[in-house]
Amino acid sequence: MTSSAKLPGEFELIARYFAPLAKGFAGAYALLDDAAVITTQPGQQLVAKTDAIVAGVHFPADEAADLVARKALRVNLSDLAAKGAVPRCYMIDLVLPGTTTEDWVAAFASGLEQDQRTFGMHLIGGDTNMTPGPLTIAVMALGDIPNGKILRRGGARAGDMIFVTGVIGDASLGMAALHGALSELDTTTAGLLIDRYRLPVPRVELGPRLIGLASASIDVSDGLVADLGHICEVSGLGAVVEASRVPLSSAARATIAGDISRLDMALTGGDDYEILFTAAPAATDKIGDLSRASGVPITTIGHMCDVPRATQERVVVLDAAGEPMKLARRGWVHF
């Protein structure tokens, strides 16, 4: 609203730091117009996703600017990937505290630039505003998908196997470590976990290759159990997961070995940004081939079943002895 000694004006900021991010996308008009224009190729649809993140809620208030930028983008890319879409472009609303410096904006834009290159997308528009509150960033990401091929939550069938990419639990254990819990961990282990929390790795290349294989798909953001619950609800099914088959990093395994109750945190904590999907058992071989070809571990962790008795949770997690685990919480609660 008022000019600030700390920042150049909005138009100057856009020209200096954000317009370069629109280069290569003709319809973004170098961010010199009021809106962008997007063309879809024949036979293609657009997949649209938005997620906002708030300092002190979704990331530490003193997080490095480039990591904030990349996390803001990546939490959206993770959804596009789980839906089978190829990322194309995004818009960003930056709501900045009055203390924001030009250096911060420069580092933020450089984080975006780095991830644009990694994931092959362009900035096509946005908005910058000041707030008396915490830094808040909303991203809307758009991706391409062949007509009718979007991977839904609701396509699972009873008997389908449940698969997950990568490893589960690092991010939630990392968040706990960042907040000073797990203080017995050595620096390396804690550092590995914390890095996974600070910078998720969306499965952008793998996602589109699940088209034709996955019957249902979701990214793991609320937590493995909660997100599998989402697939169950929309598919009208239940699920059985064997905890011992859930893939863990060696850092997570070491952390859980120190206190088995931390397995709960890993299974329900969220922020993994892996893809959780279901597929017919007949697809298992092809999924194994895809895992080898892509270099992304894909692990079977259970199967879909008819809805259990109404008194039970839709998702049953069996411990090593085959007994249902009592989970302290079912997943990330937004509020």
261 touching a copy of itself, by CB under 8 A: no
Annotate each residue in 43-62 with x if it binds a copy of itself (CB under 8 A) or - if it does not, as one string.
--xxxxxxxxxx-xxx----
Residue 183: CB minimum distance to a copy of itself, A: 22
307 touching a copy of itself, by CB under 8 A: no
**In b/e form, how buried is each residue of 82-110, taking b as 16+ CB within 10 angstroms?**
bbbbbbbbbbbbbbbeeebeeebbebbbb
Angle at CA of residue 266, ends 264 and 247, nearest 5°: 120
How far is it, in rounded angstroms, from Cα 241 to Cα 224?
10
Q: Is the Cβ of residue 92 or residue 304 nearer to a copy of itself in the bound state?
A: 92
Q: What is the CA radius of gyration of the chain?
A: 21
| 18, 70, 79, 248: residue in contact with a copy of itself (rule CB under 8 A) | 79
138 touching a copy of itself, by CB under 8 A: yes
136 touching a copy of itself, by CB under 8 A: yes
26 touching a copy of itself, by CB under 8 A: no
166 touching a copy of itself, by CB under 8 A: no
How far is it, in rounded angstroms, from Cα 226 to Cα 231?
9
Query: Are 309 and 203 in contact, with CB atoms under 8 Å apart?
Result: no
170-178 vs 187-198: helix crossing angle, rounded to 10:
110
Q: Is the Cβ of residue 134 or residue 258 nearer to a copy of itself in the bound state?
A: 134
Q: Look at residues 55, 154, 67 and name the one whose alpha carbon lies nearest to residue 95.
A: 55
Chain positions contacting a copy of itself, by CB under 8 A: 1-4, 7, 9-10, 27, 29, 32-40, 42, 45-54, 56-58, 79-80, 82-83, 85, 91-93, 95-96, 124-134, 136, 138, 140, 142, 145, 147, 150, 152-154, 218-219, 233-234, 333-335
